Amino acid sequence: MLCGSWGHEPGRWDYISKHLAILANGKALKLNFIGFEKEAESVYCYFETEKVGAVKKLDVTDSILQDFSDKQINIIHVVINNNRKSQKLDYPDKLASFSF
């Protein structure tokens, strides 16, 4: 499980930081891990960032587990000011862009 036992395996953060990046209005954001859930074959990992001014564009680069399987599907949900948007990334796609 990728996100389980988070605090006990620092190598996981190295992996996540190499395969997940978020830019708000072109500025890189620092991710803070807040938790996870496991459901059948899926793992849901939750992150938040520091407060940012008005976000007009959010770009998410997510290649998590794509180096392990060409069947990997990543689903990105973002919430800004109670406005939720989602995008599905099928391998080899790794960029999701959202406009607000």
| pLDDT tens-digit series, residues 18-31 | 999 999 999 999 99
Query: What are the structural domain ranges in the chain?
Result: 6-99
What is the reported pTM?
0.83
Q: Which of 25, 96, 32 is nearest to 64 (CA)?
A: 96
Give the chain's largest Cα–Cα span: 37
Torsion, CA 36, CA 39, CA 42, CA 48, rounded to 10:
-20
Cα 74 from Cα 22, distance rounded (Å): 15
Whether the predicted pLDDT of 1 surpasses 50? no
Place of tokens 């564009």: 57
Per residue in 38-55, pLDDT (tens digit) is 888 888 888 888 888 899
Q: Which of 23, 7, 20 is nearest to 67 (CA)?
A: 20
Mean pLDDT on 76-90: 94
